[in-house]
């Protein structure tokens, strides 16, 4: 298959598909963290000039979409407009002329403004000792099936109260946005 991973700088999902023999390319405004097939640039423009893909998995930035930050929209002038721009970007991605599309994002504004997700997954369902509710909107693919469930009261990435352990930092957004390896492997195996 020809697989396009939109808005991915880490190469995690790209490399999981590549490991199974697929032609996989990531595209992001940022350079890739790992050497591999990567286009640095605007994904919408890239698709216009390179439309022939079998599957696209999208990880649009969640800064203005995640429920955890939406309370700032009423406190910071202009932030609601940035949320609307982000929703427009999500719509462009999901309506791209590609037969199979998966859109990934945390619980947030997409669910109320566009539609509810088809599935909500957790890293612990795929062998990673972590909790991070992740919504999937699916077009042309089936729901992911859990591969290695780890049941715990509290996961390695959580504080005793259940919050994420990562404190404020310059690169917190980058660390929190990376796809867990177990989820990437399940995507490649089940959708590839």
Q: What structural domains and CATH numbers belong to the chain?
A: 2-191 (3.40.50)
Span between the terminal Cα atoms of the chain, in Å: 7
Beta strands (DSSP E) in 7-117 are 23-28, 38-40, 55-58, 100-105
Q: pTM of whole model > 0.75? A: yes
Q: Are 89 and 109 a contacting pair, CB within 8 Å?
A: no
Phi and psi (nearest 5°) for 70?
-65, -20
Running DSSP on this structure, what letter comes out for residue 157? T
List the chain pLDDT tens, one digit each, 192 residues: 999 999 999 999 999 999 999 999 999 999 999 999 999 999 999 999 998 999 999 999 888 788 777 787 788 888 889 888 999 999 999 999 999 999 999 999 899 999 999 999 999 999 999 988 999 999 999 999 999 999 988 887 766 666 666 666 676 556 667 899 999 999 999 999
């Amino acid at each position: 298959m020809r697989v396009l991973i939109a808005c991915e700088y880490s190469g995690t999902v790209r490399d999981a598909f590549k490991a199974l023999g697929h032609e996989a390319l990531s595209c992001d405004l940022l350079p890739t963290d790992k050497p591999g097939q990567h286009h640095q640039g605007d994904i919408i423009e890239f698709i216009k000039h390179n439309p022939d893909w079998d599957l696209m998995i999208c990880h649009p930035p969640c800064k203005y979409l995640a429920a955890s930050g939406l309370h700032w929209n009423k406190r910071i002038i202009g932030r609601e407009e940035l949320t609307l721009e982000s929703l427009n970007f999500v719509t462009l991605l999901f309506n791209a002329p590609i037969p199979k599309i998966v859109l990934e994002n945390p619980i947030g504004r997409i669910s109320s403004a566009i539609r509810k997700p088809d599935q909500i997954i957790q890293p612990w369902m795929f062998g990673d000792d972590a909790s991070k509710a992740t919504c999937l909107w699916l077009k042309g693919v089936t729901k992911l099936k859990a591969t290695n469930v780890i049941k715990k009261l509290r996961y390695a990435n959580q504080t005793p109260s259940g919050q994420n352990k990562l404190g404020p930092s310059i690169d917190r957004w980058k660390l929190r946005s990376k796809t867990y390896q177990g989820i990437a492997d399940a995507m490649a195996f089940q959708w590839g």
